[in-house]
Chain A
């Protein structure tokens, strides 16, 4: 059985990538699980900085966007009417029609509904890439989704990336920050959601938003407090009130910040932390056999 775990946080910079790569390291090196890490933060994918593998293969993430042929277009306006994303501009009096590619979601409605044969065709546009890395002599254990700079369809790139989910025992999705569509695209395909937070008013506020999101999606979840040390009572009170599972705490240490800054995986050089991650994994799996 494959158990899919999404690592999320409402607030950015709480330590999603630190936790994802730390869990991946301990799962594969210490616990000998078969695991796969998928970097779903396609706007700013950073796992590759920590999991140093060689790029094995790159696959394009393509969408099909419309091309409107003036000669065959009658400027009837059906395509514009159908476009839910306001991506088609028509000025019939000037025989002007244009696709605003940046607004287009590539749904295909215009080309399907156009009554004129050959007036709307489609072309392929590459909006991102899925990269397989070779890590530990395994070319299927670390995958990254990356949106090409300048695009706005991050959710599409995430969905394409998630399709590469393998058959390993445990799958880790490193999610983007926030609580909206890109996060939902990641979380909705998972079995368990790890909410990474930090002991600060911002951390708590955004944890509450993210908790609402996972509840709406009906996902099992637990909290990791990263950069802990500051006894920020409202956070602990919230966890108690909401009866949330505290999976573990990772203390704030300047050495950790420094190791992170250099792209090092923290539990690689710190046994206490490796044990900490083992406990977190046990709490996530909660007696489940894979």
Chain B
């Protein structure tokens, strides 16, 4: 079918069910490459139990280091640093490694040549096979940075695999929020499925996500998860979405079976394929498929 369609599952607010729903789609998504872009807290592999066949490290940013032997305490670096990452402790200048962004200005400017920039490679990318198909995921080193670039690289690898396999879809489990790793997860996708919940916070966060995605060409669809925890709020969200002309693909009920399936290391659609949640998720997946078939016809 040519180029694979890239679909990102996002939410704005955390904990609305991105990963559980991505895994649930997997049962129906044939010939698909799966990608976990929530590199801070990648959880999809807990359900996929993939076998890794290749691992790479990836740069996790750079930090300045001051050599106390060479430093003459002139304080220029501290004056120039826009991140306030240089502290004066007992007449010595030291870098706060958790605040330094590794821009390198201090190192360039230091008249004594006392500052070097150390590069780190503590982020990881895993290539794996799972019962659902190929999976690529990123894992940020503990307390490391560079998540936006890591997400971009993970997606490039996933796309290469999809092109080689002539896959139909790339399904991306995205991070919460609307910041840099989310922007990297959205760039160049064909569609975004935003998972929300019937809460004021879920709605507030979804609106910010929708606004963020406006600048991209991806089509955005919404899935309302756990809708029966507050049906009044669910109805309100449904109405508001209609007003802003964003399609609601479906409403998934709250049911503890979802947690039971996780405890078994399975997706809900594998664990209880006939339960109300699974049936609704299957419906939603079919609607998404039909949207792409329409899109293909339009192109033709």
Contacts and interface: CB of A to CB of B under 8 A. Distances in A.
Contacts of B211: 149-150
B230 A206 contact: no
A149 B212 contact: yes
Contact of B41 (A179, A185, A261): A179
A12 B9 CA distance: 14
Contact of B143 (A154, A206, A217): A217
Interface string B246-271: 00000000100001001101000000
Contacts of A10: 40-41
B165 interface: no
B130 to A, nearest CB: 16
A220 B218 CA distance: 43
Given A44-B204, A177-B41, A202-B46, A12 B179 contact: no
Contacts of B182: 43
Given A12-B13, A49-B201, A109-B104, A154 B179 contact: yes
Interface residues of B, number: 63
A12 B15 contact: yes
A213 interface: yes
Contacts of B199: 260-263
A3 to B, nearest CB: 20
Interface string B142-157: 1111011000000000
Most buried by A among B43, B212, B215: B43
Contact of B142 (A147, A177, A185, A213): A213
B72 interface: no
B288 interface: no
B6 interface: no
Contact of B215 (A113, A150, A206, A258): A150
What secondary structure prevails in chain B residues at the interface with A? loop
Contacts of B62: 84
Interface string A144-177: 0001011111100001000000000000000011
Given A13-B16, A202-B262, A257-B229, A217 B179 contact: no
A154 B14 CA distance: 16
Contacts of A85: 103
B176 interface: yes
B79 to A, nearest CB: 11
A179 B104 contact: no
Contacts of A84: 62, 101-104
A272 B6 CA distance: 48
Interface stretch (A29-37, A100-108, A135-143, A275-283): A100-108
Given A44-B177, A261-B229, 5 more contacts: A43-B176, A43-B177, A44-B205, A180-B144, A263-B200
Q: What are the 9 A-B residue pairs with the smallest beta carbon separation, nearest first?
A: A13-B15, A12-B14, A178-B40, A107-B103, A43-B177, A152-B180, A261-B199, A12-B176, A154-B179
7 contacts: A12-B11, A84-B62, A106-B82, A108-B80, A179-B40, A201-B43, A209-B40
Interface of A: 10-14, 17, 43-44, 46, 49, 64, 82, 84-85, 102, 105-109, 112-113, 147, 149-154, 159, 176-185, 188, 200-202, 205-206, 209, 212-213, 216-217, 230, 232, 254, 257-258, 260-263
